Amino acid sequence: MSDFTSGNVPGVGTQQDSEDTQVWWAGRHGQDLIATKKVTLESAAADSGNTPTTTLRGGNVLALVDSTGKALTYDPDANDGRQIAMGILEKHQSMLVDGTATDRFTQMLVHGFLKQGELVGLDPRAKQQLAGRFVFDRDLSASLGVLMHPRGIYRKAANYVVTAADNGLLFLASAAVSFTLPTKQNGLAFRFFQTANADLTITTSGSDIIHKNSAAASSVAFSTASQKIGSHALVECVYTDTDTLAWIVSNLGGTTATVS
């Protein structure tokens, strides 16, 4: 069972808000299996479908901003972490303290049974992102995989060094971009897609890419004229033999790949 949080950042404060809201559902004998995490809501957090927008309704889907670690409402169009759903706001929360929008200390649900009809901002992508930790009363299906249903999408217009924390993401290139793969770990998987008439390159620091008649490549480039837009690659790190990890690159777009 979650505990009460006033909304005030720890310290001396004067304002508290409360509301009877329940976005989770219980099992037999009242078992809820709910887990929560305390977070700081960024002062700019808003609920566009509520009046006033400075009061966030319980059930809002929350995400964490990459640069600050603070929570904001989920935004599928964002490119700074807000496009990856991380939890659910349990209770309504006013962002105002004495009339001024202020960071608020609260808690979000991170595991348990959810009433889907009570959630705000839940779309199919957010639902897939959350399905590994939540059970929805309207859909009890298992979480979708990260390969054909990525947990998030990032757009890149400059060279980027992929990290292990990016596991399960789809990267959309909007210019010539070279993606450098991280240190190998079994199970890492990424997708890369080129939306512009520009090169798309996937590289590693070693010779551990398997693709197109090469078992020891260091890069795969989609750079053939008239075959750049729509280049699409799935990259997975797997054990190809005992104690041997490699990157398997699958050409999903059918455009010409150059291996080196």
Q: Tell me the pLDDT tens digit for each residue of 194-216.
A: 999 999 999 999 999 999 999 99
How many Å is the maximal CA-CA distance in the chain? 68
What pLDDT shows up at residue 1?
46
Q: What whole-number distance in Å separates Cα of residue 246 and Cα of residue 2? A: 43
In this predicted model, what pLDDT tens digit does every residue of 30-43 receive, in sequence order? Answer: 666 789 999 999 99
**16 inside domain:** no
Number of domains into which the chain is organized: 2
Domain boundary among 82, 105, 136: 136
- Tokens found for residue 148: 């054909």
242 and 159 within one domain? yes
Q: Is the pLDDT of residue 27 over 90?
A: no
Could you tell me if 118 and 140 are in contact, meaning their C-beta atoms sit under 8 angstroms apart? no
In this predicted model, what pLDDT tens digit does every residue of 123-177 receive, in sequence order? Answer: 988 988 898 889 888 765 544 455 677 888 999 999 999 999 999 999 999 999 9
253 and 156 within one domain? yes
Give the CATH number, domain containing residue 49: 2.40.300.10
What pLDDT shows up at residue 19?
56
Sign of CA pseudo-dihedral 106, 110, 114, 119? positive
Q: Is the pLDDT of residue 18 over 90?
A: no
What pLDDT shows up at residue 33?
72
What pLDDT shows up at residue 128?
83
In this predicted model, what pLDDT tens digit does every residue of 103-112 receive, in sequence order? Answer: 999 999 999 9
**184 inside domain:** yes
Q: What is the pTM of this model?
A: 0.79
**12 inside domain:** no
Q: Is the pLDDT of residue 49 over 70?
A: yes
**Residue at token pair 């298992």:** 142
